[in-house]
Structure 1
Amino acid sequence: MTRILTTIGFDADDTLWQNERFFRLTQERFAELLADYVDGDHLYDRLLAAERRNLGHYGFGIKGFILSMIETAIEVTDEQVPAGVISELIAAGQDMLQHPIELLPHAREAVVEIAESHRVLLITKGDLLHQERKLAQSGLGELFDGVEIVSSKTPAVYTEIFSRHANGASEAMMVGNSMRSDVKPAIEAGGWGVYVPHDLTWEIEHDDAPEDDPRFRALEHLGGLPALVREIG
């Protein structure tokens, strides 16, 4: 019998392990440090605007986040931000880079089970060294047939990856918590897109679900993924 799916791609941050939670905690500390200059809601809006502007310069990840916070701090204080605040932001970024990996529920079980019957890939955005460190600490590295750390996730990127690692996107599925980066572009490339929500998802990754597309699926958690893969075939 011809198999419909041969390759399953997994996102990493907030799909297999916690990530956004540490960004939110650092943002709270950021607001405390600048409470004398601007209220929290306005500060978050300014920071998000800076992050959007800087994606093309710094890419995704903690280093770009810290630089965006420093830039925002300079802006909202009219260049009067104390050096001590800058030092604390740099230290916060260093702490984030060293934070231990915490796998999300069902992550290991799902990857292990699916790896027994399908080619499995890790496809993630972010800083190369940091993502490699997180993968090594996760204990999942040896389960993947391939690891792709990319600067962006577009239909063209998925087409290229699934062409190298599989027989094209039509036989592939991408699983992740970002509708914008994991689900919709994989479907646009001709593959399947599976949305697994996380309680905290960066605003930039939000998008409408392609509810009417026959290759879109949504799960409550990764525990339901093996059954879905078997169902599709």
Structure 2
Amino acid sequence: MTTIRMVGFDADDTLWRSEDYFAAAQSTFESIVGAYVGDDARTTERLYAIEKANLAVFGYGVKGMALSMVEAAIEITESRISSSDLQRIVQMAKEMLRHPVDLLPGVREAVEQVAADYPVVLVTKGDLFHQEAKVRDSGLSHLFRRIEIVSEKDVPTYRRLLEEFAIPPEGFVMVGNSLRSDIAPVLELGGWGVHVPYHLTWEHERQADIPADAARRLRSLTHADELPGALRAIAAG
């Protein structure tokens, strides 16, 4: 048997929609820049390279994306992009920051059921103000014993959190859509992961190495309503 001491939840694309808005913004960006350079300028590839390089400076989230888009637009068009088109990119980011929180199907009921059986925490990364607003507007904040908005979700971050929670890794289960950020670091520490894939995943979050000896502590689900049963199966060993 496994004694589950705490269950952690990711936020974006695990509890509510997020990547849909980023994907739409990227499509609009490519349309704006494409008017200057055509379709063969490797716009998607070059934007991602700039976003990835800027993560250590801007972090994750809409604001970092917008700054990277402005930089990429200037670079790709060789400074030919107009100020009005740069303003369109900035305005697009503002609209993303105002998007309503749209919970995924079955999420509210699943989190409520899990919170009735275990202490639950929210562990998410991104812009502090935006993430705080989304958590507040989700209507779920009262269910979480603690809400952690971190700059990165990696082994050192999860190790620090588990030490602060006074929870051994083997008693912690992390639920999320990203193998790279939500699952792999927790498995490496000796915890459990429940992967609930989303239909869209940012390229940066797609790759993750799961060692064979850790795979036994990974569960994959299709829908949020399967989560309570998955946790019961983990606890039963």
Q: TM-score range by the shorter chain?
A: over 0.9
Q: Which residue of 2 aligns with 1:173?
A: 173
Unaligned runs of 5+ in 1: none
Would you say the 8 A contact 1:62–1:97 is kept in 2? yes
Would you say the 8 A contact 2:47–2:69 is kept in 1? yes
Q: Which residue of 2 aligns with 1:222?
A: 224
Q: Which residue of 1 aligns with 2:13?
A: 14
* 1:117 Cα deviation from its structure 2 partner: 1.0
Q: Which residue of 1 aligns with 2:37?
A: 38
1:102-126 deviation digits (Å, cap 9, x = unpaired): 0011111111000011010000000
* Residues 172-191 of structure 1 aligned to structure 2 (within 5 Å): 172-191=172-191
Q: Which residue of 2 aligns with 1:205?
A: 205
Q: Which residue of 1 aligns with 2:55?
A: 55
Q: Give the Cα–Cα distance (whole angstroms) in 2 for the partners of residues 224 and 154 of structure 1.
A: 26
Would you say the 8 A contact 2:184–2:208 is kept in 1? no
* 1:66 Cα deviation from its structure 2 partner: 0.2
Let me know the Cα RMSD of the aligned residues.
1.4
- Tell me the number of residue pairs that the alignment of Structure 1 and Structure 2 aligns: 232
1:160-199 deviation digits (Å, cap 9, x = unpaired): 1122224222200111111100010011122101111000
**215-224 vs 63-72, which deviates more?**
215-224
SS of 2:35's equivalent? coil
1:84-142 deviation digits (Å, cap 9, x = unpaired): 01111110000000000000111111110000110100000001110000001100000
**Relative to structure 1, is the Cα distance of residues 57 and 74 closer, same or farther in structure 2, using a 3 angstrom cutoff?**
same
Q: Are positions 1:73 and 2:105 aligned together? A: no
Q: Give the Cα–Cα distance (whole angstroms) in 1 for the partners of residues 3 and 192 of structure 2.
A: 10
SS of 1:116's equivalent? helix
TM-score of the two chains, using structure 2 as the length reference: 0.94
* 1:209 Cα deviation from its structure 2 partner: 5.9
Q: Which residue of 1 aligns with 2:85?
A: 85
SS of 1:193's equivalent? strand
* 1:208 Cα deviation from its structure 2 partner: 4.1
Would you say the 8 A contact 1:156–1:189 is kept in 2? no
**220-229 vs 53-62, which deviates more?**
220-229
Would you say the 8 A contact 1:146–1:165 is kept in 2? no
Q: Extract structure 1 runs of 4+ deviating beyond 3 A.
A: none
Q: Give the Cα–Cα distance (whole angstroms) in 1 for the partners of residues 189 and 155 of structure 2.
A: 5
TM-score of the two chains, using structure 1 as the length reference: 0.95
The residue identity in structure 2 corresponding to 1:30 is F
Q: Give the Cα–Cα distance (whole angstroms) in 1 for the partners of residues 38 and 116 of structure 2.
A: 51
The residue identity in structure 2 corresponding to 1:221 is H
